[in-house]
Amino acid sequence: MKLIKDLEENETVTSYAQIRRKQLRLKRNGESYLRLVLRDRSGQIETKIWNNVEDCDGRISEGDLIKYQGLVQHYGGTKQLVVEKIRKTVPEDQLNGFDEGEMIPRTEYDIEEMWEKLLAAVMEHTSQPCVRELLNNVLKKNEDKIKSYPAGVEIHHNYWGGFLEHVLSVLESALFFADKYPELDRDLLVAGAVLHDIGKLEELSTPENPAYTVRGRLIGHIVMGSALVRAEASRISDFPSMLLTQLEHLILSHQGQLEWGSPKQPQTMEALILHYVDDLDAKLNRFQRIVKNDPGDSEFTVFDRHLGRAVFKGDRDRRQDPELVASCSE
């Protein structure tokens, strides 16, 4: 089994992957071809099937784990795979090196440790019993999804456990500002950090091959998250109405700008902080992933359409060499 990041140009390879995307398209001459995006834990690769298209289209679907044979080519500044043979995996493939655990990208952090950190932070940094009860209820009801779901389909933290990694990171950043600005409502800021993306657990389909649900496309995680929090708060006796209104505002405004799909712009200090730490964590994660996964030898990555730029990879040899780092610090 060969991982996608290890594929070399002009190499004929037989290996395993998961179908992340599948589209039937037309060539200029009107003939059809299949465009696939294949992935494993190391990354993903644009893939084309030119022959036996109708037969292949009927036998494979998005989310399938497959065995393929194809040629790695250079196209548009990056690697592309042209597949000649493809089929779903079968149990016997495990005897030939297939490992299902290698198919899905995962967080590099320990999921159970992150979960315990999240629960402990809620207990330590909330003073109002109603806020603590709300957070604990939501977390416990959604524990399995929170531990497995990505934070997005493509842009950031788009891997198993990414949702939990992102939420914990946003919470830790929010607590930094809560310490720096004592006038902030710490309970409100903690609740906003924990719950700002909770609607994504409805917006996305499954952690194995996440895609937008119908409700996700028609309503979106921001509105769904606000509705979920309101429903959970209604089950808590005498939950303060103004506190709930401000918490809903944090959820509804956390994307910050109307053109980014945010129903409201931040109008409280807590909402402003939440928006910026959420956006910063998402962008830094995107920077990390594209630098780590960029296959080229250039000082810059290929252009990233989500960030709208290429990213400088820096002198990674210097930063990773302990002797060079030590010599600079002497």
- Amino acid present at 184: L
- In sign, the C-alpha dihedral spanning 200, 64, 24, 3 is positive
Domain boundary among 102, 129, 145: 102
Six token digits for residue 126: 């909330």
Give pLDDT, residue 317.
Answer: 56
The answer on 322 and 247 residing in a single domain is no
CB atoms < 10 A from the CB of 55, how many? 11
CA dihedral 124, 125, 128, 133 (to 10 degrees): -60
pTM, full prediction: 0.86
The answer on 206 and 158 residing in a single domain is yes
Q: Has residue 127 been placed in a domain? A: yes
Cα 103 to chain centroid distance, Å, stands at: 15
- In sign, the C-alpha dihedral spanning 236, 240, 246, 248 is positive
Q: Has residue 293 been placed in a domain? A: no
Q: Which residues contact 129 (CB under 8 A, 6 or more apart)?
A: none
The answer on 319 and 264 residing in a single domain is no
What is the spatial distance between Cα 319 and Cα 322, in angstroms, rounded to a whole number? Answer: 8
- Amino acid present at 310: A
The answer on 179 and 274 residing in a single domain is yes
Give pLDDT, residue 130.
Answer: 97
What is the spatial distance between Cα 63 and Cα 128, in angstroms, rounded to a whole number? Answer: 43
The answer on 141 and 95 residing in a single domain is no
Q: Has residue 185 been placed in a domain? A: yes
* CB 229 within 8 Å of CB 247: yes
Query: Helix or strand or coil: residue 161?
Result: coil
The answer on 117 and 195 residing in a single domain is yes
Give pLDDT, residue 297.
Answer: 74
The answer on 189 and 256 residing in a single domain is yes
For the chain, what is the domain count? Answer: 3
Neighbour-count burial of 122, counting CB atoms closer than 10 A to its CB (0-12 exposed, 13-18 middle, 19+ buried) = buried
The number of C-alpha atoms within 13 Å of 5 and in the hemisphere containing its C-beta is: 14
The answer on 249 and 185 residing in a single domain is yes
Q: Has residue 292 been placed in a domain? A: no
Domain boundary among 64, 85, 102: 102
Give pLDDT, residue 320.
Answer: 58
The answer on 124 and 83 residing in a single domain is no
Q: Has residue 128 been placed in a domain? A: yes
Q: How would you write the pLDDT of the chain (330 residues) with one tens digit per residue?
A: 899 999 999 999 999 999 999 999 999 899 999 999 999 999 889 999 999 998 898 999 999 999 999 999 988 778 899 999 999 999 999 998 899 999 999 999 999 999 999 999 999 999 999 999 999 999 999 999 999 999 998 889 999 999 999 999 999 999 999 999 999 999 999 999 999 999 999 999 999 889 999 999 999 999 999 999 999 999 999 999 999 999 999 999 999 888 778 899 999 999 999 999 999 999 999 898 888 877 677 888 878 887 888 889 886 555 556 665 566 555
Domain boundary among 102, 126, 155: 102
The answer on 270 and 139 residing in a single domain is yes
Q: Has residue 294 been placed in a domain? A: no
* Domain containing residue 237: 111-287
The answer on 220 and 323 residing in a single domain is no
The answer on 173 and 134 residing in a single domain is yes
What is the CATH classification number for the domain harbouring 187?
Answer: 1.10.3210
